[in-house]
Amino acid sequence: RFRANSAAQAPPHPHVIHQHRGESPRLALPDKYDGAADRCRGFLRQCEVFFSQHPEMYHEDGTRCAFLLSLLTGKALEWACAVWDADPLIRSSFSYFAGMIQEVFQYPAGGKDISLQLMELRQGSDSVADYAIKFRTLAAQSGWNEAALWAVFRGGLNSALQTDLACREEATSLTQFVAMAIRLDNLLRQHAVGAHPPVSARPRVRADLPQPREEAPEPMQLGRSRLAEQEHRRRGQMRLCYYCGASGHMIHRCPERPSSAQVGENSLFFSLTIPVSLCLADRCVSVPALIDSGAAVNLIDGDLVEELGIPTIPCVPSLRIMAIDSQPIGGGSLTCQTELLEFQVGLFHRERLAFYVTSSPANPVILGFPWLRRHDPQISWCTGELVRCSDACLKECLLEPVSRTCRTSLVEDSASLASGCIPHIYEDFQEVFSEERAARLPSHQAWDCAIDLLLNASPPRGWVYPLSLPQTKAMEEYIEEALAVGHIQPSTSPAAAGFFFVGKKDGGLHPCIDYRGLNAITVRYPYPFPLVPAALEQLRGARFFTKLDLRSAYNLVHIHEGDEWKTTHGHYEYLVMPFGLTNAPVVFQSLISGVFQDILGKWVIAYINDILVYSTPLEEHVRHVQEVLSKLQRHRLFVKPKKCEFHQSTMLFLAYVITRQRVEMDVSKVQAVTELPSPVNPGGLAWTDQAQAAFQRLKECFTTAPILRHPDPDLPFMVEVDSSSGGLGAVLSQRHGELGKLHPCAFYSQKPTAAEANYDVGNRELLSIKAVLEEWRHWLEGTRHPFMVLTDHHNVRGAKRLNPRQARQFKASSEPVQPDLILPATAILAPVRWNLMEKIRQAHADKPPPCQLPYYQGLRAASVPLSGDAMGA
């Protein structure tokens, strides 16, 4: 209806625009607008251009407003529908409607206006070309003159690039200066790529790992700062050195400037800084502290001392401070030092320390060699973090944790650090066991839980469940505490989900959200979970086990920015990942697998929030547990000490009882069956002693199983198969001990399909052999010893040619999975040792040889190796 010429044909594709002779160009429709702040201005500009190119169709404001409404979607459409009927002016004035959209959705990023964003803009790790695009976008909206924009652009460049630009000719305009900076940056980047060959990178698990801090122009010059614009011009006009300000030489020949080799080395040096707190009488101030083993004393910046009003005392005599080239640093001497200050690192490390006062604006606090020698910290140079301190430091500087009491089950009532649960050797990782840190709102990371909805899906509408008085009180307490820790926030989302409680074992109430409606329209993420039986096979030879249970596992993951409204329950929405989302287990399993990706399957098993560490010697096991705790601390994941077990030889893990040599069944999982009472006799059924004995025997068969041994690849395997029309079964076994007792390693069972149940005996037996060889391929393929398959069907032994069904099952194109030998189940198998054979010969010295005994074919069947034709795959 908006076409000027109804006879014109529609374009074959919405983005393919045809232009007829004598007609104005026809533009593509503007993209749909969902209310994003960064797209508001461009969307309205596209609409204005579209209207200007089609004046005959959109000359009335009412038509323009209707067209603008048709392009809105998401939250923008919800807002427009709400005000469309309430405000008639929106339907009749396009300028008013567009102004309302700008007022509602075009808010500045982070709540900052254009001028503030422009002043805070820095190049950082971006190229100058990317930095210039951001700068020009903000500059076009600022209204500043060219001189101010020039100064802001130069000040946002990296310091090394500013120094190189200072040595070149001055540009006559801002455009020329930006182009010159881009060219110079590209040349430097090409030179860096050519000088250093690329190194293969591995995908990072987290997005906020410590990045190298931007270096000052000269790392050793603590008091040196960037030249002011006026001073830079003055030195250029008077032909003075831009580095030291003296005359007679230029910056590239300055005697005080480090050589190019030193600069190259400094450019590869990344300083290590940690956050520390200076505890004053009325407040605590957090500042970054530089770890510098080359500093002979502990230093603090003089400006920070004046700002905080820290009392100082004079140094008599004063101390000289020099760099490695014997050049003075800052003022050249230290004339005063602070009084003893309360100084805290992390949550539980506090001490009293005095600092020498110097000029160091880039690093307000410098912890030198005396501090390092006293505390002897362990530093992770890969991540740039201080991991642990010495045992003496823990005794002198460790703070006692403060116990807290919470009112509902959102946070545990017990204190985070249970001294009896954590071995002394892991006290350096007390932050990992901190309950207070686990309750904080996590920051946005690479593994945030995104909720992607199906195309054209409507927001789900949940039910309101009636709550009793105790449940209503528990709900109010839960919401109050969740708001206090920042896990939820008020919401005006159109989506809704029901809220109810389920009982816990201790009689408490656990909050649940009914996300069935949201899960039905959510795109599911395919991510493989580890197979528990296959993971337990890795425990072969392990003697010590440690189990870690993550605290508030799902609440350690932030909801992806922009998806919070989809988790609405009542008048609130989640900021952390709640229980009940269809992708929650997948997201958390991918997080855990990414954290332990280099040690999974070696000595760690991680299944969602359960982590098992296994090792053979105790010393190695302690190192493994320390590395796991270090990774958890690095990625801000926390464990619950009361559910952790350390250095055990028997461990209950994922409903299995794990020991040094075998895996057993958890008795508590079958307790309901073992305690099942005898059936009542309502119809006169005679319940005899024989029936009671049979009933007890059935319960034992259902609830007991042979103890599984860990498979040992150094021993031969034996596969025993059996099949019927009702099922296929097999046992994987090995012989252990001096007597060669047969122990099961794994069980297999499968119900045949309706077609497979009609197979004859021979085909069913071959089907069961094929199934178990595929199931246990990872153990049987490439074994050191031949493995045997035991069967009670003689027709399998004598198969000379495959029928069409068998040929399809064992097709030649598949990988070979044939056994080395097939024996009947009636065969007698046992390991033979030379000393045992010698005793047998001595005992049967007076007996006739086997060849002279009466022949009986059923006594022992011959073993027949399978040919390649019979089991081609």
* SS3 call for 652: strand
Q: What is d(CA 356, CA 298) in angstroms, rounded to the nearest whole number?
A: 6
Please indicate whether residue 553 or residue 8 has the higher confidence score (pLDDT). Answer: 553
Residue 39 DSSP one-character state: G
**Tell me: domain 711-859, CATH 3.40.50.2300, correct?**
no
Q: Is the pLDDT of residue 145 over 50?
A: yes
Q: What is d(CA 338, CA 311) in angstroms, rounded to the nearest whole number?
A: 6
Is the full-model pTM beyond 0.85?
no
pLDDT of residue 612: 92
Please indicate whether residue 720 or residue 408 has the higher confidence score (pLDDT). Answer: 720
Q: Is the pLDDT of residue 203 over 50?
A: no
Nearest residue to 545 (alpha-carbon basis) of 629, 641, 647: 647
Sign of CA dihedral 298, 301, 302, 305: negative
User: CB of 387 within 8 A of CB of 380?
Assistant: yes
pLDDT of residue 546: 92
Residue 161 φ then ψ, to 5°: -70, -35
Question: Cβ of 397: how many Cβ atoms within 10 Å?
Answer: 19
Least confident of 518-532, 674-688, 714-728, 782-796: 674-688
Q: Is the pLDDT of residue 737 over 60?
A: yes
Please indicate whether residue 614 or residue 35 has the higher confidence score (pLDDT). Answer: 614
Report pLDDT digits (tens) over 113-140.
677 777 888 888 888 888 888 887 777 7
Residue 709 φ then ψ, to 5°: -90, 150
| Torsion angle defined by CA atoms of residues 522, 526, 527 and 533, in that order, rounded to the nearest 10 degrees | 110
E strands, 542-609, are: 544-549, 572-574, 604-607
Report pLDDT digits (tens) over 299-357.
888 888 888 888 888 887 777 777 666 666 666 678 888 888 888 886 567 788 888 88
Helix (H) or strand (E) holding 485: helix 469-485
The helix/strand count (H/E) of the chain reads as: 29, 28
Residue 578 DSSP one-character state: P
Least confident of 107-121, 619-633, 741-755: 107-121
Buried b / exposed e over 208-244, threshold 16 CB at 10 Å, is: eeeeeeebbbbbbbbbbeebeeeeeeebeeeebbbbe
Residue 148 φ then ψ, to 5°: -65, -40
**Tell me: domain 271-397, CATH 2.40.70.10, correct?**
yes
Q: What is d(CA 840, CA 838) in angstroms, rounded to the nearest whole number?
A: 5
E strands, 414-493, are: 488-490
Domain boundaries, the chain: 1-107, 125-196+205-266, 271-397, 469-665, 711-859
Report residue 402's pLDDT band, with 50, 70 and 90 as the boundaries: very low
User: CB of 300 within 8 A of CB of 367?
Assistant: no
Report residue 693's pLDDT band, with 50, 70 and 90 as the boundaries: confident
Ordered DSSP codes for 748-798: EEE---HHHHTS-HHHHHHHHHHHHHHHTHHHHTT-SS--EEEES-HHHHT
Q: What is d(CA 293, CA 369) in angstroms, rounded to the nearest whole number?
A: 5
Q: What is d(CA 626, CA 648) in angstroms, rounded to the nearest whole number?
A: 16
Q: What is d(CA 488, CA 97) in angstroms, rounded to the nearest whole number?
A: 33
Tokens, residue 10:
């529609």
Residues 6 or more apart whose Cβ sits within 8 Å of residue 687:
678, 679, 681
Q: List the beta bridge partners of residue 275.
A: 288
Fold topology of 469-665: Alpha-Beta Plaits (3.30.70)
Please indicate whether residue 546 or residue 755 has the higher confidence score (pLDDT). Answer: 546
* Three-state secondary structure readout of 173-184: CHHHHHHHHHHH
Report pLDDT digits (tens) over 803-825.
777 766 665 444 544 454 555 44
Ordered DSSP codes for 164-213: HHHTSPPPSSHHHHHHHHHHHHHHHHHHHHHHS--------S-S-SPPPP
Least confident of 72-76, 132-136, 456-460, 819-823: 819-823
Q: Is the pLDDT of residue 652 over 50?
A: yes
Residues 6 or more apart whose Cβ sits within 8 Å of residue 682:
none
Q: What is d(CA 443, CA 499) in angstroms, rounded to the nearest whole number?
A: 26
Q: For the chain, how are helix, strand and coil distributed in percent, rounded to 5?
A: 35, 20, 45
Please indicate whether residue 413 or residue 665 has the higher confidence score (pLDDT). Answer: 665
Least confident of 206-210, 222-226, 720-724, 739-743: 206-210
Report residue 704's pLDDT band, with 50, 70 and 90 as the boundaries: low
